Amino acid sequence: CLGRGEENEGNSVSNPFPHLFSTRKIIIIIIINNKTFVLYTFCFQLGQILRSPFMKFVAHAVSFTIFLGLLVVNASDRFEGVKNLPNETITDHPKQIFRVKTTQFSWTELLIMKWVLGMIWSECKEIWEEGPREYVMHLWNLLDFGMLSIFVASFTARFMAFLKATEAQQYVDQYVQDDDLSNVTLPPEIAYFTYARNKWLPSDPQIISEGLYAIAVVLSFSRIAYILPANESFGPLQISLGRTVKDIFKFMVIFIMVFVAFMIGMFNLYSYYLGAKYNPAFTTVEESFKTLFWSIFGLSEVISVVLKYDHKFIENIGYVLYGVYNVTMVVVLLNMLIAMINNSYQEIEEDADVEWKFARAKLWLSYFDEGRTLPAPFNLVPSPKSFYYLIMRIKMCLIKLCKSKAKNCENDLEMGMLNSKLRKVRFQSRARNSENFTVKKAYNKPTRYQKIMKRLIKRYVLKAQVDRENDEVNEGELKEIKQDISSLRYELLEEKSEATGELARLIQQLSDKFGKNLNKDI
């Protein structure tokens, strides 16, 4: 029903409560035990408020803040240390398998999974609306995709470990009669789930899950930088940080080239002296990578190139290569990176206000698009709008299906009739006429969006024409200016010649008068 005093498809609906209802509302009538209950839901007005860009930004920011809070709360029980050491096992009862207790999901982890599912659904809708190519063009989307993928992989590995531990527990409950597992010899594949952490395999799903979860948490907190441009103080700083990240990526090309060259060279030099050095540096590719990487931060020693044998030639070459590497990386390349970062920061600081406002406008415009009204995990709950769209799509599919069936039946009937060709021609002409009518109707009745865009384009074209007329000078005007300048030149030359002649006459008159006076005096 409509709670407005307007006409709807020819029917006038009066508003019984004009002081309460000023916008369209949905009325739900519930009948229980011959008693009628009428519920007025103000979903239209509330939906308009929630669909505003500012409210969408606030809702998504608050949702993401709660998500980060859940990540912190999930780790809060280990702030003061874990309850059991890596070589200890704790169970609720003697017959319980230790891994069943460690792989169980806590309530915070379940909430985190709900938030992750909501963000995945939001990203899927964004990919569907924008397309994969436009989605990949934004770096923040790649960060979100990587973060959510790592979360999914982490929880999947954790769930696999939980399933394996549950299967082991079911085996124990079914086949083990003793109440204490310490007195029972279990199969190796079952006994593995009773071991402490120090005996787990490196490829254990739970260990992989914990490592991926740590990476996902770091990426989650780095996502805060996306909303920093909304603040005047942190916005320019975040823009400078983004520029420096681009500089770092450019620098990484040269860095990797130099690093790989020295890593392979030092490995080739010391790979034959495995066990003949004071430390295993440069004897393997892994040790060569570690030594050169940590030497950038001053965490390696010069003894890394010293041999136990009296091979001075190899040691001298090692000293030279190691010294050249430190000079190249620490003195040259790192200082060049610092200079690039400083240059980017100075460029941002010169136009900090403009850069910040541009980034803020770009952030705001991302919330002007239709959709993504509710943040995660509330977007997982189907909204009335989604039900409406689903019903409309089902209706359109049914209409197309019925039309196709009717068309097939009509074609079958026409095949058995004598005037099938005439009917086919008439049918095609009617279809064309209907299509032309629909096209003309669409052109005759433009939408509100088309009207607004037409006015904006017209305003822009008129303004551009006025600016061009005011600012630009055409060829005719240039010719007129040249003619005016040439005429002014001739006028000045004529005035100059006239002034010169008059001055000569005055001089002649003065000289004549001066001569007459001189003769009288004589």
Res 490: pLDDT: 79
Average pLDDT score, the chain = 78
User: Which helix (H) or strand (E) element contains residue 146?
Assistant: helix 139-175
266 and 321 in contact (C-beta within 8 Å)?
Answer: yes
Widest CA span of the chain, in angstroms?
164
Question: What pTM does this model have?
Answer: 0.65
pLDDT at 67 over 90: yes
For residue 260, the model assigns a pLDDT of 94
Q: What does the DSSP 8-state code read for residue 179? A: S
Q: CB under 8 Å to 24, separation ≥6 — which residues?
A: 2, 3, 4, 44
Note whether 238 and 225 are within 8 A (CB): yes
Tens digit of each residue's pLDDT (9 = 90 or more) over 106-144? 999 999 999 999 999 989 988 888 888 888 888 888 889
Cβ atoms within 10 Å, residue 160: 15
DSSP letter for each residue of 334-402: HHHHHHHHHHHHHHHHHTHHHHHHHHHHHHHHTTTSSS--SPTTGGGSPPHHHHHHHHHHHHHHHHHHH
Cα four-point dihedral sign 165, 169, 170, 176: positive
- Write down the pLDDT at residue 25: 44
Asked if 375 and 63 count as a contact pair (C-beta separation under 8 A), the reply is yes
pLDDT digits (tens, 9 = 90+) for 368-421: 777 677 888 888 887 777 777 788 888 888 888 888 777 766 665 555 554 444
Q: Please give the pLDDT value at position 433.
A: 53
Mean pLDDT calculated for residue range 173-182: 82
User: What is the distance between the alpha carbons of residues 446 and 121, in angstroms, rounded to a whole number?
Assistant: 34
Give tens-digit pLDDT for 436-492. 544 444 445 566 667 777 787 888 788 777 776 665 556 666 777 877 888 888 788
Distance, in Å, from the CA atom of 336 to the CA atom of 325, rounded to the nearest integer, reads 15
Give the relative orientation of helices 53-76 and 352-365 as an angle to the nearest 10 degrees. 90
The model's confidence at residue 150, banded by pLDDT at 50, 70 and 90, is very high
Identify the weakest region by mean pLDDT among 58-67, 194-203, 270-279, 419-428: 419-428
The pLDDT value recorded for residue 59 is: 87
Q: How far apart are CA 112 and CA 209, in angstroms?
A: 14
Q: Are strands 7-8 and 26-32 parallel, antiparallel or unpaired?
A: unpaired
- Of 176, 128, 121, the closest CA to residue 152 belongs to 121
CA distances from 266 to 262, 290, 300 (A): 6, 12, 14
Q: How far is the C-alpha of 306 from the C-alpha of 179, rounded, in Å?
A: 60
| 216-258 pLDDT per residue, tens | 999 999 888 888 888 877 888 787 777 777 778 888 888 899 9
Per-residue b/e over 57-70, b at no fewer than 16 CB within 10 Å?
bebbeebbeebeeb
Distance CA 143, CA 146 (A): 5
Rounded (10°) CA dihedral 347, 349, 354, 356:
110
